[in-house]
Amino acid sequence: MLKIHVLGSAAGGGFPQWNCNCPQCSAVRGGSKHHQARTQSSIAVTANNTDWLLINASPDVLQQIKAFPALQPARALRDTGIAAVLLMDAQIDHTTGLLMLREHRQKLPLYCHPLIREDLSTGNPLFKVLSHYCDIDWHELQLQTAFHVPALSGLQFEALPLISNAPPYSPHRDKPQPGDNVGLSVKDEASGKTLFYAPGLGQMEPHVWQAMQHADCVLVDGTLWTDDEMIALGASKKTSRSMGHMPQTGADGMIEWLDKLPAHVRKVLIHINNTNPILDDSSPQRQTLTAHGIEVAFDGMEIEL
């Protein structure tokens, strides 16, 4: 059985964000019963409940491991349930946690596309820093090619190129190249059940839509409710789409696409920005999602396929 554990469900900065006093962050600090704090997005998957693939390494990874004992099974003096790490992009909120894993006893098995490795060796040289600690055992992700992670028998993976955006420090910023951002299909080879995971999705493409239609669960970009959300609040001058994230609403928005999926597909939003009103479970926006059969991921959420 494919098991997915949501370690973190928020976008970069977490929820509440440390320096943000928007209505959502203020509400969670004030103890609102309708708001739940969230760490920065990351999931872990397994087929045997023992060996886990960490998908993206959040800056909050130590807090996430503490909250999920399966990643610290205590079978030896130094131990981890994390068999390998896979990076879907080079964003700070998906990679900084690698530094927190520097005490790993062997080279850390890490899967990512060469463009991501390039960004993490130059503009943000995490690979070079980690070479002085546990070091990295790098495995190249080839796009649209099925592959296996040896320690996770029974699961088949496939990385798909996404149109999103590279980090601000990347030479590919605002000039996306295939491999800067990937979506991931995870298939249980015994049951055939499949997850499609894409926390950063800026535009729907035919191959991405096909993967979503063939999935049993889609866990996809829920960053912002409207394209101008950050601008309207005075929090940023950037639109959702310019940052590489499809807004939930409006023409060609995420809700419109999710409504077209087959009825059996479970639909879950993740990577939710602190300004997004869906973080208030009593909000009209949350009620809209519920009416469309769309769930909102939360830290500790578990999905079994």
Could you please report the per-residue DSSP string of 209-241?
Answer: HHHHHT-SEEEEE---SSTTHHHHHTS-S--TG
Q: Is 241 exposed, middle or buried (0-12, 13-18, 19+ CB in 10 A)?
A: buried
Q: What is the pLDDT of residues 152-174, one digit of tens each?
A: 999 999 999 998 888 999 998 88
pTM: 0.96
Integer Cα distance of 141 and 109 in angstroms: 12
Q: What is the pLDDT of residue 235?
A: 85
Instruction: Judge whether 25 and 38 are in contact, CB under 8 Å.
Output: no
- Selection from 150, 146, 147, 141 nearest residue 181 by Cα: 141
- Checking if the pLDDT of 203 tops 90, the result is yes
Q: What is the pLDDT of residues 40-60, one digit of tens each?
A: 999 999 999 999 999 999 999
- Checking if the pLDDT of 289 tops 90, the result is yes
User: What CA–CA distances, in Å, run from 292 to 31, 172, 215, 273, 277?
Assistant: 28, 36, 18, 20, 16
Integer Cα distance of 248 and 253 in angstroms: 5
pLDDT band at 237 (very low <50, low <70, confident <90, very high): confident
**Mean pLDDT to the nearest integer, 270-289:** 97
User: Domains of the chain, with CATH numbers?
Assistant: 3-304 (3.60.15.10)
- Checking if the pLDDT of 126 tops 90, the result is yes
Integer Cα distance of 177 and 254 in angstroms: 22
Q: What is the pLDDT of residues 68-87, one digit of tens each?
A: 999 999 999 999 999 999 99
